[in-house]
Chain A
Amino acid sequence: MRKIGIPEIEDIALGAALLGAGGGGDPYVGKLVAIGAVQECGPVTMLEPDEVPDDALVVPIAMMGAPTVLCEKAIGGGEYKTLYDTVSTFYGKPIYAFMPIEAGGVNSMLPIAAAARLGLPLVDCDGMGRAFPELQMVTFTIGGGSATPMAMVDEKGNSCIFRTVTNRWTEEMARAVTMACGGSVSVSLYAMEGKFMKEYGVRGIVTRSETLGSAIRKVKEVTDKTPEEAFLEITEGYKLFKGKICDVLREVRAGFNFGKVVLEGIGDYKGGSAYVEFQNENLSAVVNGELLATTPDLICLVDTETFTPVPTDALKYGKRVMVVGLKCFPLWRTEEGLKLVGPRYFGLDTDYIPLEERCKGGC
Chain B
Amino acid sequence: MYKLGIDVGGTNTDAVLIDENLDVVSSVKQHTTANIYDGILNAVRAVLEQSGVDRKEIRQAMLGTTQCTNAIVERKNLAPIGILRIGAPASRGIPLMVDWSEDLKTIAVGTAIVGGGFEYDGKEIAPFDTAAAGAFFRELKEKDVKSVAISCVFSTVRNDHELEAAKLCREIMGKDVHISISSEIGSMGLIERENATILNAALYKVAQSFTEGFAQSLADEGVTNAQVYLSQNDGTLMTMDYARRYPILTIACGPTNSIRGACYLSKLKNAVVIDVGGTTTDLGVIQNGFPRESGVAVTIGGVRTNFRMPDVVSIGLGGGSIVRQREDGTVTVGPDSVGYRITEKALCFGGDVCTATDIAVRLGMAELGDKALVAHLDRDFAEKALAAIRSLCEDSIDAMKVSSQDVDVILVGGGSIILPADLAGAKSVTQHKFGGVANAIGSAISKVSGTYEQLMDYDKIPRDEALAKARAEAVELAVAAGAIRETVEIIDAEDVPLQYYPGNTARVKIKAAGDLA
A interface residue numbers (CB < 8 A to B): 29, 31-33, 35-37, 39-40, 66, 68-69, 71-79, 113, 155-157, 182-183, 244, 246, 314, 316-320
B21 at the interface (CB under 8 A from A): no
Residue among A71, A73, A113, A314 with max Cβ neighbours from chain B (10 Å): A73
Asked if B123 CB lies within 8 Å of chain A CBs, one says yes
Nearest chain B CB to A94 CB, angstrom units: 23
The A-contacting residues of B in range 38-94, CB under 8 angstroms, are: 87-94
- Residue B383 lies at the interface, judged by CB distance under 8 Å to chain A: no
Q: Among the listed A39, A74, A319, which residue makes an inter-chain contact with B91, where contact means beta carbons less than 8 Å apart?
A: A74
**Nearest 4 A/B pairs, CB to CB:** A75-B93, A182-B119, A77-B93, A318-B399
Chain A: CB-nearest residue to B117: A73
Complex CA–CA separation, A68 to B87 (angstroms): 16
Please list 16 pairs of residues, one from A and one from B, whose beta carbons are closer than 8 Å in the complex, sorted by A's number. Answer: A32-B98, A39-B95, A39-B98, A71-B188, A72-B154, A72-B189, A72-B190, A73-B90, A74-B90, A74-B190, A76-B88, A77-B93, A78-B92, A156-B126, A317-B401, A318-B398
Taking the closest CB of chain A, its distance from the CB of B186, in whole angstroms, is 11
Smallest CB separation, A74 vs chain B (Å) = 4
Docked-complex contact B402 and A74, CB < 8 angstroms = no
Say which residue of A72, A76, A182 sits within 8 Å of B93 (CB atoms).
Answer: A76
Task: Check B91–A318 contact: CB distance below 8 A.
Answer: no
Asked whether any CB of chain A lies closer than 8 Å to the CB of B466, the reply is: no
- Given A32-B99, A40-B95, A73-B153, A314–B191 Cβ distance below 8 Å? no
Q: Bound complex: CA of A207 vs CA of B84, how far in Å?
A: 37
Whether A78 pairs with B154 at a CB distance below 8 angstroms is no
Instruction: Check A72 against B153 for contact (C-beta < 8 Å).
Output: yes
- What residues of chain B have their CB less than 8 Å away from a CB belonging to chain A? 87-95, 98-99, 117, 119-121, 123, 125-126, 153-154, 156, 188-191, 296, 398-404
Is there an interface contact between B123 and A33, defined as CB atoms closer than 8 Å?
Answer: no
B404 touches A246 (CB 8 A): yes
> Roughly how many angstroms separate A31 CA and B92 CA in the complex, as a whole number?
14
Contact of B94 among A33, A78, A79, A317 (CB under 8 A): A33
| Residue in contact with B191 in the complex, picked from A40, A71, A320, CB distance below 8 Å | A71
CB pair B119–A183 under 8 Å, yes or no, is yes
Cβ contacts under 8 Å, A244 to chain B = 398
Q: Are B93 and A37 in contact (CB-based, < 8 A)?
A: yes
Tell me the complex Cα distance, A317–B405, Å: 11
Cα-based distance from A183 to B153 in the complex (angstroms): 13
Shortest CB-to-CB span from A109 to chain B, Å, is: 11
* Bound form: Cα–Cα A35–B362 in Å: 55
Shortest CB distance A177–B (Å): 14
Q: Which of A33, A155, A317 is close to B403, meaning CB atoms less than 8 Å apart?
A: A317
Closest-CB distance, B298 to chain A (whole angstroms): 14
